[in-house]
């Protein structure tokens, strides 16, 4: 999920005239720009682009929308893909949700968990006296076999 403020920021950072001009030839006509419409076989430029409103409209085939919908329709990609493409174009970073944590973060978390597990597993081996007796009787009561303690890296906190 990309927050709507982020989508607004990305739209504002990509001028619609510049973006469309990177795909098709664009000519200035008064306050607007004209282009051959890429969404229908167009001989006379029937697409107008308004830099003021940041929208485009084709008088022939009625195609129209904003900078994101232009990229979606032209490239035949999804909304998210178009937003990502425009973010990259403008040098804007999109924060990834937790579900897409970068690989380094995942392996870091894995290391932390492994270190903690080792610490508690060592505790189990190093306890002595009454504590050891208590733990051993608890393990026996739970029916946990000795080799399971190492196999599953069980620990004592
Ligand atoms: Zn058209």
| pLDDT per position as a tens digit, 82-109 | 999 999 999 999 876 555 556 677 778 7
Region 104-132 average pLDDT: 82
User: Do 68 and 84 touch, CB atoms closer than 8 A?
Assistant: no
Give residue 60 CA to ligand 1 midpoint distance, Å: 5
Nearest to 65 by CA among 98, 20, 126: 20
On average, the pLDDT of the chain sits at 90
Give residue 7 CA to ligand 1 midpoint distance, Å: 26
CA distances from residue 93 to 10, 11, 96, 105 in whole angstroms, order as listed: 10, 13, 9, 17
Give residue 36 CA to ligand 1 midpoint distance, Å: 8
Give residue 53 CA to ligand 1 midpoint distance, Å: 19
Q: Which two tokens stand for residue 89?
A: 């174009």
Alpha carbons 83 and 70: distance in angstroms, whole number: 11
Give residue 38 CA to ligand 1 midpoint distance, Å: 6
């Amino acid at each position: 999920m990309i927050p709507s403020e982020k989508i607004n920021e990305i739209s504002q950072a990509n001028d619609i005239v510049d973006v469309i001009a990177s795909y098709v030839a664009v000519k200035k006509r008064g306050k607007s720009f004209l282009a051959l419409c890429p969404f229908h076989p167009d001989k006379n430029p029937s697409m107008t682009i308004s830099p003021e409103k940041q929208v485009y409209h084709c008088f022939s085939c009625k195609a129209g929308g904003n900078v994101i919908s232009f990229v979606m329709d032209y490239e035949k990609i999804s909304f998210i893909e178009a937003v990502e493409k425009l973010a990259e174009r403008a040098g804007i970073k999109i924060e990834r949700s937790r579900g897409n944590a970068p690989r380094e973060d995942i392996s870091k978390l894995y290391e932390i968990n492994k270190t903690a597990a080792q610490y508690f597993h060592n505790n189990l081996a190093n306890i002595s006296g009454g504590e050891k007796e208590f733990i051993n009787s608890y393990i026996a009561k739970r029916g946990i076999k000795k080799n399971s303690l190492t196999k599953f890296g069980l620990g004592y906190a």
